[in-house]
Chains A and B, each alone.
Chain A
Amino acid sequence: MSTTPRPTDSDAGTLAVDAAFVTERLRGFIADGVRKVGFERVVVALSGGVDSSVVTALAVLSLGAGNVVAVFMPYRSSDPQSRVDALAVCDSLGISARVIDITPQVDAYFVRFPDADRTRRGNKMARERMSILYDLSMAERALVLGTSNKTELLLGYGTLFGDMASALNPIGDLYKTQLYAVARHLDLPQSVLSKPPSADLWAGQTDEDELGMRYAVVDQVLHLLVDERRSRAEVIALGFDATDVDRIVSRVQGSQYKRRPPVIAKLSNRTIDREFRYPRDWGR
């Protein structure tokens, strides 16, 4: 008898999480990770979406409202609703958002490359936001928190050295559908919970349109492949569409480089990360 759920829109079953437990765990993770390296504060890019809203709420729970710098960084094509939602999240958490419009610096760059496509422009926006976060990290003595979830990390649906850059990522082991359970537990504003997930690079963009698949399906397939180590054939035999499964497998493999540090040419007897192995918490 199989207990594996068939594809549904529900996030029940194997993807279910105990949101209260996860929240408590992540609260401890942030406090430990930040204070261990001599910081008290964090800086988060808050977009008004569910991922960054969850991270911001977890940070406030963990460190207190006074220690969380939330930065909202719109581009001129960002959906106006994003600002409304980001500010609503800040209101509910008792913090104020920094608003830094990235339009001038992005547009100044693309004056040189007027024909650049949407992917280049989206990557540039993500990297401009990264450069601002790391500047504020220095200015505010605040560690950068990451907001990439497990689904997008596995699919490579993110910009290398852009939105994927951070010092600590509290949500990188939670699938998108699992994040919603945590978001509901954290009592985030309803508008954040109910809108379709989007990278908000242009009007009307949604993740599910871009991926061509629903998160509910993607997450179950990823869970079977990655967490349960089922083979491609086994996942298809469970009733998932073969084309979807192949696309997911191919995306996960093709984006492996994004999840690894740059490749170092081995020359010596003690190469960094090969034989020179210390924990990141070395000496902390």
Chain B
Amino acid sequence: MVLERSRTGVSADAPVPEDAATPAGAPEALADPAGSVTIALAQFYPRLGDRAANLAAHLTIIADAGAAGAGLVVFPELSLTGYFLKDQVPEVALTLDSPEVDALRESSRAGGIDIVAGLILESDRHLFHNAAVYISGGEVLHVHRKVYLPTYGLFDEHRYVAAGDHFRAFDAPLGRRTEHRWRAGILICEDLWHPSAATLLARQGADLIICPSASPGRGLLQGETVGTASSYDVMTRTYAQLFTTYVVYCNRSGFEDGVGFWGGSRVVDPVGSVVAEVRGAQESVLFHTLERSAVRRARVAYPLLRDERNDVNDAETDRLRRRHARG
């Protein structure tokens, strides 16, 4: 079955690339002291279980986004495999040494662009995780294994994959297109529904919360948008506002077994305003330039991170833990 795919490479929201003449393969790193950097969100339709086809689509999008001047391209949850894998999980699982991951590393090096991609990651002990990797300059810099695996409603993730056990922020080079130090953290889809996860990333200095998602549309009979979109609208704007961080939400396109994913990928700025968005579920690549100055302005206007009483939080958490230990 051939699926009709429209992949323009650059959506209507894309900036005009200033260095379009830069040959792919040897891009110049644009060191930007002001700390601005363009990112791309690849709202993409993975073919279920077809790693080869998905990898090929990734490499095209990565090269195009790099040539358009982006320092980071974000793909949706499980972008290399598709979502409702069920018993295919062990069959499509990869390790960080897999040729598919090598190809992504090479494309990040060649394109001068960092990559967040989703995959089933198999551990040495043969546990399978729903994971996202952050790749930069030919290296895997960070791996996030989804902590919250939903098993309610239409979800059945914990039947098929193992849960991760930590949330870590990391320095994101963003294709080395900026000299400023950006801290990032990854929350995969359901992780976003647990505010403690975003809180932990904020405490570790995150300026950028990246959320790859495979969110099925439901509640379609209640209005012109899906019910799920309203939930993500609230969460992404609220976290951006409360943690004064950028929130980058990249959802997917397409259908699996009759379930449609609703797209709606977006960038929310550090005061909670939606500054770029794909309206709809169609495949498209959304570009937006993150402004370091926007982070600064937000934290001047709302010094919430400065005022956060981590000592109170820690003390109360310790008290609750002790009480829990006593039974």
Give residues of chain B (195-252) contacting chain A, Cβ–Cβ below 8 Å: 216-221, 227
Say yes or no for B259: interface residue by CB 8 A criterion. Answer: yes
Q: Roughly how many angstroms separate A265 CA and B256 CA in the complex, as a whole number?
A: 10
CB atoms of B219 and A269 under 8 A apart: yes
* Minimum CB–CB distance for B259 against chain A, Å: 5
Q: Which residue of A lies closest to B153 (CB)?
A: A275
Q: Roughly how many angstroms separate A267 CA and B262 CA in the complex, as a whole number?
A: 11
CB atoms of A267 and B154 under 8 A apart: no
Q: Roughly how many angstroms separate A266 CA and B261 CA in the complex, as a whole number?
A: 10
Q: Roughly how many angstroms separate A267 CA and B260 CA in the complex, as a whole number?
A: 9
Q: Roughly how many angstroms separate A201 CA and B93 CA in the complex, as a whole number?
A: 43
Interface band, chain B: 10 to 19
Q: Given A274-B154, A275-B154, decide whether A269 and B218 contact each other with a Cβ distance below 8 A.
A: yes
* Minimum CB–CB distance for A257 against chain B, Å: 10
Q: Given A269-B227, A274-B154, decide whether A263 and B258 contact each other with a Cβ distance below 8 A.
A: yes
Q: Roughly how many angstroms separate A269 CA and B230 CA in the complex, as a whole number?
A: 13
Q: Which of A229, A231, A264, A268 contacts B218 (CB 8 A)?
A: A268
Say yes or no for B97: interface residue by CB 8 A criterion. Answer: no
CB atoms of A266 and B221 under 8 A apart: no
A265 / chain B contacts, CB cutoff of 8 Å = 258, 260
Q: Roughly how many angstroms separate A234 CA and B219 CA in the complex, as a whole number?
A: 44
CB atoms of B259 and A274 under 8 A apart: yes
Q: Which of A229, A263, A271 contacts B154 (CB 8 A)?
A: A271
CB atoms of A266 and B153 under 8 A apart: no
Q: Which residue of A lies closest to B87 (CB)?
A: A229
Q: Which residue of B lies closest to A265 (CB)?
A: B258
CB atoms of A266 and B219 under 8 A apart: no
* Minimum CB–CB distance for A222 against chain B, Å: 15
Encoded as 1 (CB less than 8 Å from any A CB) or 0, chain B from 49 to 83 comes to: 00000000000000000000000000000000000
Q: Which residue of A lies closest to B259 (CB)?
A: A266
* Minimum CB–CB distance for A78 against chain B, Å: 36
- Please tell me the number of chain A residues within 8 Å of chain B, measured between CB atoms: 12
Give residues of chain A (262-284) contacting chain B, Cβ–Cβ below 8 Å: 263-269, 271, 274-275
CB atoms of B221 and A267 under 8 A apart: yes
Q: Roughly how many angstroms separate A231 CA and B90 CA in the complex, as a whole number?
A: 10
Q: Which of B91, B153, B216, B217 has the most CB of A within 10 A?
A: B153
A274 / chain B contacts, CB cutoff of 8 Å = 153-154, 259
* Minimum CB–CB distance for B203 against chain A, Å: 34
B227 / chain A contacts, CB cutoff of 8 Å = 269
Say yes or no for B257: interface residue by CB 8 A criterion. Answer: yes
Q: Which of A265, A266, A274 has the most CB of B within 10 A?
A: A266
CB atoms of B257 and A268 under 8 A apart: no
Encoded as 1 (CB less than 8 Å from any B CB) or 0, chain A from 60 to 82 comes to: 00000000000000000000000
CB atoms of A263 and B221 under 8 A apart: no
B153 / chain A contacts, CB cutoff of 8 Å = 269, 274-275
Q: Which residue of A lies closest to B226 (CB)?
A: A267
B216 / chain A contacts, CB cutoff of 8 Å = 266
Q: Given A274-B154, A275-B153, A275-B154, decide whether A268 and B221 contact each other with a Cβ distance below 8 A.
A: yes
* Minimum CB–CB distance for B120 against chain A, Å: 16
Q: Roughly how many angstroms separate A266 CA and B259 CA in the complex, as a whole number?
A: 5
* Minimum CB–CB distance for B81 against chain A, Å: 16
CB atoms of B257 and A263 under 8 A apart: yes
Q: Roughly how many angstroms separate A265 CA and B216 CA in the complex, as a whole number?
A: 12
B257 / chain A contacts, CB cutoff of 8 Å = 263
* Minimum CB–CB distance for A207 against chain B, Å: 27
Give residues of chain A (217-261) contacting chain B, Cβ–Cβ below 8 Å: 229, 231
CB atoms of B219 and A268 under 8 A apart: yes
* Minimum CB–CB distance for A269 against chain B, Å: 5
Q: Roughly how many angstroms separate A269 CA and B153 CA in the complex, as a whole number?
A: 8
Q: Roughly how many angstroms separate A265 CA and B221 CA in the complex, as a whole number?
A: 12
B217 / chain A contacts, CB cutoff of 8 Å = 266
Q: Roughly how many angstroms separate A129 CA and B257 CA in the complex, as a whole number?
A: 30
* Minimum CB–CB distance for A230 against chain B, Å: 12
Q: Given A266-B154, A271-B154, output 9 extra A-B contacts at Cβ < 8 Å.
A: A266-B217, A266-B259, A266-B260, A267-B218, A267-B221, A268-B220, A269-B219, A269-B227, A274-B259
Would you mind naming 25 contact pairs between A and B with Cβ atoms under 8 Å apart? A229-B90, A231-B91, A264-B258, A266-B154, A266-B217, A266-B218, A266-B258, A266-B260, A267-B218, A267-B220, A267-B221, A268-B218, A268-B220, A268-B221, A269-B153, A269-B218, A269-B219, A271-B154, A271-B218, A271-B258, A274-B153, A274-B154, A274-B259, A275-B153, A275-B154
Residues of B within 8 A of A (CB): 90-91, 153-154, 216-221, 227, 257-260
What 7 A-B pairs are tightest by C-beta distance, nearest first?
A: A263-B258, A274-B154, A267-B220, A266-B259, A269-B219, A275-B153, A269-B218
